[in-house]
Amino acid sequence: MFTRAERLISLRNLRPKKKEGFLKVISIFSFLGIMLGVAILIIVMSVMNGFKTDLTKKILGLNPHVVIQPNSFQIDKRYISKLKKDFEDITISKSYSGEGIVISNDKAKGVILKGIDKSEKNIIEFFRNFTSQGDLNNFNINKVFIGSELAFNLNLKKDDTINLMTSSFVGTPLGNLPKQENFKVAGIFNTGFIEFDQNVIFINIEDALSIFNKDDKDQNIEIYLEDPLKANFYKESIQKLNENYFIYTWSDLNKSLFSALKVERNVMFIILSLIIIVAAFNIISGLTILIKNKTKEIAILKTLGFTNRSIKKTFFLTGLTIGFFATLSGILLGILFSVNIEKIRNLLSKVFDLEIFPSDIYFLDELPYEINFYSILIIFIISLIISAIASYLPATKISKMNTFRALRYE
Protein backbone atom coordinates (compact mmCIF):
# COMPACT_ATOMS: atom_id res chain seq x y z
CA MET A 1 0.00 0.00 0.00
CA PHE A 2 2.80 2.42 0.92
CA THR A 3 6.22 2.32 -0.78
CA ARG A 4 9.46 2.52 1.19
CA ALA A 5 10.06 6.09 -0.02
CA GLU A 6 6.58 7.16 1.11
CA ARG A 7 7.15 5.65 4.54
CA LEU A 8 10.54 7.38 4.92
CA ILE A 9 9.11 10.79 3.96
CA SER A 10 6.18 10.26 6.34
CA LEU A 11 8.56 9.37 9.18
CA ARG A 12 10.59 12.50 8.42
CA ASN A 13 7.40 14.60 8.66
CA LEU A 14 6.80 13.19 12.14
CA ARG A 15 10.17 14.62 13.27
CA PRO A 16 9.93 18.36 12.45
CA LYS A 17 13.02 20.54 12.47
CA LYS A 18 13.86 22.84 15.38
CA LYS A 19 12.50 25.88 13.53
CA GLU A 20 9.19 23.96 13.15
CA GLY A 21 8.65 23.61 16.89
CA PHE A 22 5.05 24.81 16.59
CA LEU A 23 4.27 21.78 14.42
CA LYS A 24 5.71 19.54 17.09
CA VAL A 25 3.39 21.10 19.68
CA ILE A 26 0.36 20.56 17.43
CA SER A 27 1.37 16.92 16.84
CA ILE A 28 1.71 16.35 20.59
CA PHE A 29 -1.72 17.88 21.26
CA SER A 30 -3.22 15.79 18.46
CA PHE A 31 -1.73 12.65 19.99
CA LEU A 32 -2.81 13.52 23.55
CA GLY A 33 -6.29 14.57 22.47
CA ILE A 34 -7.06 11.34 20.66
CA MET A 35 -5.40 9.23 23.35
CA LEU A 36 -7.44 10.84 26.16
CA GLY A 37 -10.63 10.73 24.11
CA VAL A 38 -10.26 7.00 23.47
CA ALA A 39 -9.25 6.31 27.08
CA ILE A 40 -12.21 8.24 28.53
CA LEU A 41 -14.59 6.52 26.14
CA ILE A 42 -13.33 3.07 27.18
CA ILE A 43 -13.44 3.95 30.90
CA VAL A 44 -17.01 5.24 30.75
CA MET A 45 -18.21 2.30 28.65
CA SER A 46 -16.48 -0.18 30.99
CA VAL A 47 -18.03 1.36 34.11
CA MET A 48 -21.50 1.50 32.53
CA ASN A 49 -21.20 -2.11 31.32
CA GLY A 50 -20.02 -3.15 34.78
CA PHE A 51 -22.85 -1.27 36.45
CA LYS A 52 -25.44 -2.92 34.20
CA THR A 53 -23.96 -6.41 34.72
CA ASP A 54 -23.66 -5.93 38.49
CA LEU A 55 -27.21 -4.60 38.73
CA THR A 56 -28.53 -7.47 36.60
CA LYS A 57 -26.79 -10.07 38.79
CA LYS A 58 -28.22 -8.53 41.94
CA ILE A 59 -31.71 -8.34 40.50
CA LEU A 60 -31.50 -11.96 39.28
CA GLY A 61 -30.15 -13.08 42.64
CA LEU A 62 -32.99 -11.40 44.56
CA ASN A 63 -36.01 -12.01 42.34
CA PRO A 64 -37.63 -14.98 40.61
CA HIS A 65 -37.14 -15.09 36.86
CA VAL A 66 -40.81 -15.71 36.01
CA VAL A 67 -43.84 -15.22 38.27
CA ILE A 68 -47.32 -16.68 37.75
CA GLN A 69 -50.14 -14.95 39.63
CA PRO A 70 -53.52 -16.72 40.04
CA ASN A 71 -55.44 -13.55 39.05
CA SER A 72 -58.58 -14.84 40.86
CA PHE A 73 -58.15 -18.25 39.14
CA GLN A 74 -56.84 -21.06 41.33
CA ILE A 75 -53.58 -22.69 40.28
CA ASP A 76 -54.20 -26.41 40.66
CA LYS A 77 -51.72 -29.28 40.99
CA ARG A 78 -52.37 -30.44 37.42
CA TYR A 79 -51.12 -27.11 36.07
CA ILE A 80 -47.94 -27.30 38.17
CA SER A 81 -47.36 -30.91 37.06
CA LYS A 82 -47.72 -29.88 33.41
CA LEU A 83 -45.22 -27.07 33.97
CA LYS A 84 -42.67 -29.51 35.36
CA LYS A 85 -43.31 -31.94 32.52
CA ASP A 86 -43.08 -29.41 29.67
CA PHE A 87 -40.16 -27.45 31.12
CA GLU A 88 -37.78 -29.89 32.78
CA ASP A 89 -35.01 -27.33 33.35
CA ILE A 90 -37.05 -25.01 35.60
CA THR A 91 -37.27 -24.82 39.39
CA ILE A 92 -40.67 -24.00 40.91
CA SER A 93 -41.48 -22.51 44.31
CA LYS A 94 -44.50 -20.87 45.93
CA SER A 95 -44.72 -17.46 47.57
CA TYR A 96 -47.03 -14.63 48.52
CA SER A 97 -46.11 -10.95 48.78
CA GLY A 98 -47.92 -7.89 50.02
CA GLU A 99 -47.36 -4.45 51.46
CA GLY A 100 -47.24 -3.83 55.17
CA ILE A 101 -45.85 -1.67 57.96
CA VAL A 102 -43.16 -2.67 60.43
CA ILE A 103 -43.31 -1.04 63.88
CA SER A 104 -40.43 -1.16 66.36
CA ASN A 105 -38.83 1.14 68.94
CA ASP A 106 -41.46 3.85 68.30
CA LYS A 107 -40.53 3.84 64.61
CA ALA A 108 -42.60 2.70 61.65
CA LYS A 109 -41.76 2.00 58.02
CA GLY A 110 -43.59 0.71 54.97
CA VAL A 111 -42.16 -2.58 53.70
CA ILE A 112 -42.87 -5.50 51.39
CA LEU A 113 -43.69 -8.72 53.25
CA LYS A 114 -42.68 -11.75 51.22
CA GLY A 115 -43.85 -15.17 52.33
CA ILE A 116 -41.48 -17.98 51.33
CA ASP A 117 -40.94 -21.68 51.83
CA LYS A 118 -37.57 -22.08 53.52
CA SER A 119 -37.19 -25.64 52.20
CA GLU A 120 -37.04 -24.48 48.56
CA LYS A 121 -33.65 -24.85 46.88
CA ASN A 122 -33.45 -21.22 45.69
CA ILE A 123 -34.40 -19.85 49.09
CA ILE A 124 -31.69 -21.93 50.77
CA GLU A 125 -29.18 -20.66 48.20
CA PHE A 126 -30.23 -17.04 48.78
CA PHE A 127 -29.80 -17.16 52.56
CA ARG A 128 -26.53 -19.08 52.23
CA ASN A 129 -25.12 -16.24 50.12
CA PHE A 130 -26.52 -13.20 51.90
CA THR A 131 -27.16 -14.00 55.60
CA SER A 132 -25.03 -11.82 57.88
CA GLN A 133 -26.69 -12.77 61.19
CA GLY A 134 -28.80 -15.75 62.21
CA ASP A 135 -29.48 -19.19 60.76
CA LEU A 136 -32.09 -20.38 58.28
CA ASN A 137 -32.79 -23.38 60.53
CA ASN A 138 -34.27 -20.98 63.11
CA PHE A 139 -36.55 -19.38 60.52
CA ASN A 140 -39.78 -20.89 61.87
CA ILE A 141 -43.37 -19.74 62.37
CA ASN A 142 -43.67 -16.17 63.75
CA LYS A 143 -40.08 -15.40 62.84
CA VAL A 144 -38.71 -13.09 60.15
CA PHE A 145 -35.54 -12.23 58.26
CA ILE A 146 -34.92 -8.52 57.71
CA GLY A 147 -32.44 -6.56 55.59
CA SER A 148 -29.34 -4.95 57.07
CA GLU A 149 -30.42 -1.42 56.07
CA LEU A 150 -33.81 -1.87 57.70
CA ALA A 151 -32.17 -3.28 60.82
CA PHE A 152 -29.88 -0.24 60.98
CA ASN A 153 -32.71 2.27 60.44
CA LEU A 154 -34.92 0.70 63.10
CA ASN A 155 -32.04 -0.21 65.45
CA LEU A 156 -32.86 -3.93 65.34
CA LYS A 157 -30.76 -6.99 65.93
CA LYS A 158 -31.25 -10.75 66.05
CA ASP A 159 -33.93 -11.98 68.52
CA ASP A 160 -35.60 -8.54 68.75
CA THR A 161 -39.40 -8.38 68.48
CA ILE A 162 -41.21 -6.35 65.83
CA ASN A 163 -44.85 -5.70 64.99
CA LEU A 164 -46.10 -6.19 61.43
CA MET A 165 -49.31 -4.52 60.22
CA THR A 166 -51.05 -5.19 56.89
CA SER A 167 -53.95 -3.75 54.93
CA SER A 168 -56.13 -6.74 55.86
CA PHE A 169 -58.74 -6.05 58.50
CA VAL A 170 -59.93 -7.98 61.53
CA GLY A 171 -63.28 -7.43 63.23
CA THR A 172 -63.25 -6.08 66.81
CA PRO A 173 -65.87 -4.57 69.15
CA LEU A 174 -64.49 -1.19 68.05
CA GLY A 175 -64.93 -2.00 64.36
CA ASN A 176 -62.55 -3.26 61.70
CA LEU A 177 -58.88 -2.68 62.47
CA PRO A 178 -55.74 -3.44 60.43
CA LYS A 179 -54.46 -6.91 61.19
CA GLN A 180 -51.13 -6.99 63.04
CA GLU A 181 -48.97 -9.61 64.68
CA ASN A 182 -45.71 -9.76 66.61
CA PHE A 183 -42.71 -11.51 65.11
CA LYS A 184 -39.18 -12.26 66.32
CA VAL A 185 -36.13 -11.43 64.17
CA ALA A 186 -34.53 -14.79 63.25
CA GLY A 187 -31.73 -13.22 61.22
CA ILE A 188 -30.46 -10.37 59.05
CA PHE A 189 -29.49 -10.53 55.39
CA ASN A 190 -27.25 -8.17 53.43
CA THR A 191 -27.41 -8.27 49.62
CA GLY A 192 -25.57 -5.00 48.99
CA PHE A 193 -28.65 -3.77 47.07
CA ILE A 194 -29.74 -0.87 49.26
CA GLU A 195 -33.35 -0.65 48.07
CA PHE A 196 -33.87 -4.36 48.70
CA ASP A 197 -32.15 -4.42 52.10
CA GLN A 198 -34.28 -1.62 53.51
CA ASN A 199 -37.69 -2.53 52.07
CA VAL A 200 -38.13 -6.33 52.17
CA ILE A 201 -38.97 -8.62 55.08
CA PHE A 202 -39.09 -12.40 54.62
CA ILE A 203 -41.70 -14.35 56.57
CA ASN A 204 -42.86 -17.96 56.34
CA ILE A 205 -45.48 -18.61 53.67
CA GLU A 206 -47.96 -19.77 56.34
CA ASP A 207 -47.54 -16.50 58.25
CA ALA A 208 -47.92 -14.48 55.05
CA LEU A 209 -51.21 -16.16 54.10
CA SER A 210 -52.48 -15.74 57.65
CA ILE A 211 -51.62 -12.05 58.11
CA PHE A 212 -53.07 -11.14 54.69
CA ASN A 213 -56.17 -13.37 55.18
CA LYS A 214 -55.35 -15.45 52.09
CA ASP A 215 -55.60 -19.16 51.20
CA ASP A 216 -53.31 -21.61 49.42
CA LYS A 217 -55.05 -20.84 46.12
CA ASP A 218 -53.80 -17.23 46.33
CA GLN A 219 -50.12 -18.22 46.28
CA ASN A 220 -47.92 -17.14 43.41
CA ILE A 221 -45.80 -19.61 41.45
CA GLU A 222 -42.18 -18.49 41.12
CA ILE A 223 -40.01 -20.03 38.41
CA TYR A 224 -36.20 -20.00 38.34
CA LEU A 225 -34.38 -20.70 35.08
CA GLU A 226 -30.91 -21.98 34.27
CA ASP A 227 -30.55 -19.04 31.86
CA PRO A 228 -32.48 -16.02 33.23
CA LEU A 229 -31.94 -14.08 29.99
CA LYS A 230 -34.44 -16.45 28.31
CA ALA A 231 -37.21 -15.42 30.72
CA ASN A 232 -39.34 -13.71 28.04
CA PHE A 233 -39.18 -16.81 25.83
CA TYR A 234 -40.42 -18.99 28.69
CA LYS A 235 -43.08 -16.42 29.55
CA GLU A 236 -44.65 -16.73 26.10
CA SER A 237 -44.56 -20.53 26.21
CA ILE A 238 -46.01 -20.72 29.72
CA GLN A 239 -48.74 -18.21 28.89
CA LYS A 240 -50.08 -20.56 26.20
CA LEU A 241 -50.77 -23.24 28.83
CA ASN A 242 -53.39 -21.08 30.50
CA GLU A 243 -54.40 -17.58 29.39
CA ASN A 244 -56.21 -16.88 32.70
CA TYR A 245 -53.05 -16.42 34.76
CA PHE A 246 -51.05 -13.20 34.87
CA ILE A 247 -47.38 -13.90 34.06
CA TYR A 248 -44.47 -11.49 34.27
CA THR A 249 -40.66 -11.75 34.28
CA TRP A 250 -37.82 -10.06 36.10
CA SER A 251 -37.13 -7.93 33.00
CA ASP A 252 -40.76 -6.71 32.95
CA LEU A 253 -40.33 -5.38 36.47
CA ASN A 254 -37.13 -3.53 35.55
CA LYS A 255 -37.83 -2.63 31.90
CA SER A 256 -37.73 1.14 32.44
CA LEU A 257 -34.47 0.92 34.40
CA PHE A 258 -32.61 -1.10 31.75
CA SER A 259 -34.08 0.98 28.92
CA ALA A 260 -32.78 4.12 30.63
CA LEU A 261 -29.35 2.53 31.08
CA LYS A 262 -29.22 1.57 27.40
CA VAL A 263 -30.20 5.07 26.24
CA GLU A 264 -27.72 6.69 28.62
CA ARG A 265 -24.93 4.39 27.43
CA ASN A 266 -25.59 5.20 23.77
CA VAL A 267 -25.81 8.94 24.43
CA MET A 268 -22.56 8.89 26.41
CA PHE A 269 -20.87 7.00 23.55
CA ILE A 270 -21.94 9.65 21.04
CA ILE A 271 -20.98 12.59 23.27
CA LEU A 272 -17.58 11.20 24.18
CA SER A 273 -16.88 10.33 20.54
CA LEU A 274 -16.98 14.08 19.91
CA ILE A 275 -13.80 14.38 22.00
CA ILE A 276 -11.98 12.26 19.41
CA ILE A 277 -13.46 14.35 16.58
CA VAL A 278 -12.33 17.59 18.24
CA ALA A 279 -8.85 16.13 18.76
CA ALA A 280 -8.77 15.14 15.08
CA PHE A 281 -9.06 18.82 14.11
CA ASN A 282 -5.52 19.20 15.49
CA ILE A 283 -4.38 16.67 12.90
CA ILE A 284 -6.06 18.72 10.16
CA SER A 285 -4.49 21.98 11.31
CA GLY A 286 -1.09 20.37 11.88
CA LEU A 287 -0.97 18.72 8.45
CA THR A 288 -2.24 21.90 6.77
CA ILE A 289 0.60 23.92 8.29
CA LEU A 290 3.08 21.13 7.55
CA ILE A 291 2.06 21.02 3.87
CA LYS A 292 2.31 24.80 3.66
CA ASN A 293 5.82 24.73 5.12
CA LYS A 294 6.87 21.84 2.88
CA THR A 295 5.91 23.60 -0.38
CA LYS A 296 9.50 23.60 -1.68
CA GLU A 297 10.09 19.95 -0.72
CA ILE A 298 6.81 18.91 -2.35
CA ALA A 299 7.75 20.74 -5.56
CA ILE A 300 11.18 19.06 -5.62
CA LEU A 301 9.59 15.63 -5.09
CA LYS A 302 7.26 16.28 -8.02
CA THR A 303 10.17 17.23 -10.29
CA LEU A 304 11.91 14.00 -9.24
CA GLY A 305 8.93 12.02 -10.49
CA PHE A 306 6.69 11.65 -7.45
CA THR A 307 3.02 11.78 -8.41
CA ASN A 308 0.40 13.83 -6.56
CA ARG A 309 -1.13 10.57 -5.35
CA SER A 310 2.19 9.36 -3.91
CA ILE A 311 2.84 12.65 -2.09
CA LYS A 312 -0.72 12.69 -0.77
CA LYS A 313 -0.17 9.22 0.61
CA THR A 314 2.94 10.36 2.54
CA PHE A 315 1.07 13.13 4.33
CA PHE A 316 -1.96 10.92 4.83
CA LEU A 317 0.31 8.32 6.44
CA THR A 318 1.76 11.01 8.72
CA GLY A 319 -1.64 11.89 10.17
CA LEU A 320 -2.84 8.29 10.28
CA THR A 321 0.30 7.25 12.19
CA ILE A 322 -0.44 9.85 14.87
CA GLY A 323 -4.04 8.64 15.10
CA PHE A 324 -3.08 4.95 15.16
CA PHE A 325 -0.54 5.16 17.98
CA ALA A 326 -2.70 7.65 19.93
CA THR A 327 -5.61 5.19 19.70
CA LEU A 328 -3.46 2.26 20.88
CA SER A 329 -2.13 4.35 23.79
CA GLY A 330 -5.69 5.41 24.67
CA ILE A 331 -6.87 1.80 24.69
CA LEU A 332 -4.04 0.72 27.00
CA LEU A 333 -4.62 3.71 29.29
CA GLY A 334 -8.39 3.10 29.33
CA ILE A 335 -8.04 -0.61 30.19
CA LEU A 336 -5.44 0.09 32.88
CA PHE A 337 -7.63 2.82 34.44
CA SER A 338 -10.76 0.62 34.28
CA VAL A 339 -9.06 -2.32 36.01
CA ASN A 340 -7.98 -0.04 38.87
CA ILE A 341 -11.12 2.13 38.92
CA GLU A 342 -12.10 1.20 42.49
CA LYS A 343 -8.62 1.98 43.87
CA ILE A 344 -8.64 5.31 42.04
CA ARG A 345 -12.11 6.11 43.39
CA ASN A 346 -10.99 5.42 46.96
CA LEU A 347 -7.86 7.54 46.46
CA LEU A 348 -9.84 10.49 45.09
CA SER A 349 -12.39 10.16 47.91
CA LYS A 350 -9.62 10.42 50.51
CA VAL A 351 -7.73 13.23 48.79
CA PHE A 352 -10.78 15.45 48.16
CA ASP A 353 -12.77 14.24 51.19
CA LEU A 354 -15.94 13.49 49.24
CA GLU A 355 -17.97 10.41 48.42
CA ILE A 356 -17.81 9.48 44.75
CA PHE A 357 -20.72 7.30 43.51
CA PRO A 358 -22.53 6.95 46.89
CA SER A 359 -23.98 3.46 47.36
CA ASP A 360 -27.43 4.65 48.46
CA ILE A 361 -27.93 6.35 45.07
CA TYR A 362 -26.18 3.98 42.66
CA PHE A 363 -27.09 0.65 44.37
CA LEU A 364 -23.48 -0.55 44.57
CA ASP A 365 -20.87 -1.05 47.26
CA GLU A 366 -17.92 -0.59 44.92
CA LEU A 367 -17.46 0.83 41.45
CA PRO A 368 -17.80 -2.08 38.98
CA TYR A 369 -16.24 -2.42 35.55
CA GLU A 370 -16.55 -4.80 32.64
CA ILE A 371 -14.12 -4.62 29.74
CA ASN A 372 -15.98 -5.53 26.56
CA PHE A 373 -13.48 -6.24 23.79
CA TYR A 374 -16.20 -5.90 21.15
CA SER A 375 -16.81 -2.30 22.34
CA ILE A 376 -13.06 -1.64 22.35
CA LEU A 377 -12.83 -2.91 18.76
CA ILE A 378 -15.63 -0.52 17.72
CA ILE A 379 -13.90 2.39 19.48
CA PHE A 380 -10.60 1.47 17.79
CA ILE A 381 -12.20 1.37 14.32
CA ILE A 382 -14.12 4.64 14.84
CA SER A 383 -10.99 6.42 16.08
CA LEU A 384 -8.98 5.20 13.07
CA ILE A 385 -11.73 6.29 10.65
CA ILE A 386 -11.86 9.76 12.20
CA SER A 387 -8.04 10.00 12.07
CA ALA A 388 -8.03 8.82 8.44
CA ILE A 389 -10.60 11.44 7.40
CA ALA A 390 -8.73 14.14 9.32
CA SER A 391 -5.50 13.10 7.55
CA TYR A 392 -7.02 12.87 4.08
CA LEU A 393 -8.65 16.32 3.98
CA PRO A 394 -5.46 18.47 4.12
CA ALA A 395 -3.58 15.98 1.89
CA THR A 396 -6.01 16.68 -0.97
CA LYS A 397 -4.66 20.25 -1.22
CA ILE A 398 -1.39 18.91 -2.63
CA SER A 399 -2.98 18.23 -6.03
CA LYS A 400 -3.88 21.93 -6.31
CA MET A 401 -0.29 23.04 -5.72
CA ASN A 402 1.57 24.62 -8.68
CA THR A 403 5.04 23.02 -8.89
CA PHE A 404 6.60 25.66 -11.20
CA ARG A 405 5.40 28.59 -9.08
CA ALA A 406 6.59 26.90 -5.87
CA LEU A 407 10.15 26.47 -7.22
CA ARG A 408 10.23 29.91 -8.76
CA TYR A 409 9.62 31.71 -5.49
CA GLU A 410 12.09 29.58 -3.59
Q: What are the tens digits of pLDDT across the range 230-287? A: 888 888 888 888 778 888 887 777 777 677 777 777 787 887 778 788 878 777 777 7
- Angle, vertex CA 332, rays to CA 327 and CA 333, nearest 5: 95
What's the pLDDT at 125? 83
What's the pLDDT at 105? 80
Residue 350: pLDDT over 60: yes
What's the pLDDT at 405? 56
User: Are 129 and 61 spatial neighbours (Cβ–Cβ below 8 Å)?
Assistant: yes
263 vs 317: CA distance, rounded Å: 37
Task: Convert the pLDDT of each residue in 10-19 to its tens digit.
Answer: 666 666 655 5
Helices first, then strands: H and E counts in the chain: 16, 10
How, if at all, do strands 107-116 and 200-204 pair? Answer: parallel
CB burial of residue 350 (10 Å; 0-12, 13-18, 19+): exposed
Residues listed for the chain: 410
Closest CA to 66 of 220, 204, 203, 197: 220
Residue 145: pLDDT over 90: yes
What's the pLDDT at 215? 80
158 vs 18: CA distance, rounded Å: 76
The percent of residues above 70 in pLDDT, for the chain, comes to: 82
User: Within 13 Å of residue 90, how many CA atoms lie on the same side as its CB?
Assistant: 26
pTM of the complete model: 0.66
CB burial of residue 222 (10 Å; 0-12, 13-18, 19+): buried
Task: Convert the pLDDT of each residue in 104-120 to its tens digit.
Answer: 888 888 898 998 888 88
Task: Convert the pLDDT of each residue in 294-332 to its tens digit.
Answer: 666 766 676 677 777 777 777 777 888 888 888 999 999
User: Are 192 and 146 spatial neighbours (Cβ–Cβ below 8 Å)?
Assistant: no
What's the pLDDT at 9? 67
Average pLDDT along the chain: 79
Which residues on neighbouring strands pair with residue 162, listed in sequence order?
183
Task: Convert the pLDDT of each residue in 6-50 to its tens digit.
Answer: 667 666 666 665 555 555 677 777 788 888 888 988 888 888 888
Closest CA to 98 of 87, 110, 106, 108: 110
Question: Residue 32, SS3?
Answer: helix
Closest CA to 180 of 168, 195, 194, 188: 168
For the chain, what are the domain ranges?
4-57+257-408, 91-224
Buried b (16+ CB within 10 A) or exposed e, 43-68: bbbbbbbbbbebbbebbbbbbbbbbb
266 sits in which H/E element? helix 255-293
pLDDT band at 188 (very low <50, low <70, confident <90, very high): very high
User: Within 13 Å of residue 155, how many CA atoms lie on the same side as its CB?
Assistant: 5
Task: Convert the pLDDT of each residue in 53-86 to its tens digit.
Answer: 777 777 776 678 888 888 777 777 787 787 877 7
Residue 229: pLDDT over 90: no
User: Are 112 and 105 spatial neighbours (Cβ–Cβ below 8 Å)?
Assistant: no
